[in-house]
Each structure stands twice: as C-alpha cells, then as structure tokens.
Amino acid sequence: MIDSQFKLVNCTLKHAAMLAEIGASTFDETFSPYHPAKDMEAYIEKTYTLAQLKKNLLNPYIQYYAAYNENGDCGYIKLLDDVQAEGIEGRVMELEKIYVRQWAQGSGVASLLMNKGIDLARKQGYDYLFLGVWQENKRALAFYKKMGFEVFNTRTFQLGDEMCDDFLLKLAL
C-alpha cells in the first residue's frame, strides 16, 4: 500500500533548503529540454532561493507538504489558500506546485501528495482545488485528469523571454 511506503510531513522553516533543492532540480529536469538555459536559470534563481522558500513558509496562506521514504525526499506540494480564479465561483485553493523527483515517479507518491491536497481543501471548506499546467506536459495532464480534474480555462506563464500556454484545471470538492 502506498501510505506505508511514504511518509508526509507538514513543512516548516527547517525544510526550506530541501524544498528549494527539490523545486530547482525538479523544475530543471522537467523543463530544461524545452526552454533556453538562460530562461531556466533566471526562473530557478528567482523562485527557489532559500530566502524565497523561507518567506513562503512564513506566509500563513501558503502550505507545503513533503513526502519521503527510506530513499530520501521524494517530492512536495505547495498549496495557496483563498485564491481567485477566473471561471470558478466559491472558495478556491490552488495547488501551485506538485513536484516529484524523477526516481520517485511512477511510485505512487504523486497520488499520495495529490490526495493530501484534496483532503486538506475539503477539510478546510473549499469548493474547488485548481492548478495550472503547461499545455505540453502530457504526463502531468494525464495524471490530473486521472485524479478527476477538468480543464476550465487557460493562461500564459512567462518563463524568461518565452510565453508558455497553460491549461487551468479544477476539481469540484
């Protein structure tokens, strides 16, 4: 069973370095084949600094949960409380990031992390959980649809000089 293989932890400041490292390395592994190195480096240097992660962890509207097993830290989710999403009515939580190390992909840890986000959103009285995903990320799209999410809108995401097209997906809770 997946739950006995992995452990989840509600992240605090002591997890900042681990979150920064997983975020930077996973983002780079996933997207560097598709984007110029200078754009990737600029985004990673801005988003996954220790200072930025500490700031996020101190924000009461941001939650992080990390998964680990005997092999180490496997991945994490980042949740944003009480967000506005065009095209969704009611209380909305955003799953801003779900990152799983390459060696842990296919192990069930992504489902465990996703289910944690869904459970938290339900327990906290949200009507929807939503997320954005690059339209070319077919593996992630298939996973989100398997988890019950549906496309409801699009947006652009700037990565350096490039504008990337994202799908917005929602899950009614």
Structure letter (DSSP) for residue 82? S
Contacts of 116 (CB under 8 A, 6+ apart): 8, 65, 77
Which pLDDT belongs to residue 4?
Answer: 56
Q: Could you give the domains of the chain?
A: 2-172 (3.40.630.30)
Model pLDDT, residue 139 = 92
3 state SS of 48:
coil
Given this model, what pLDDT does residue 162 score?
Answer: 84
Beta bridge partners, 68, equal 7, 73
Decide if 171 contacts 147 (C-beta within 8 A). Answer: yes
pLDDT truncated to tens, each residue of the chain (173 aa)? Answer: 344 589 999 999 999 999 999 999 999 999 999 899 999 999 999 999 999 999 999 999 999 999 999 999 999 999 999 999 989 999 999 999 999 999 999 999 999 999 999 999 999 999 999 999 999 999 999 999 999 999 999 999 888 888 889 999 999 99
| pTM of structure | 0.93
User: What integer pLDDT is reported at residue 2 of this predicted model?
Assistant: 44
Helix (H, G, I), strand (E, B) or coil at 118: helix
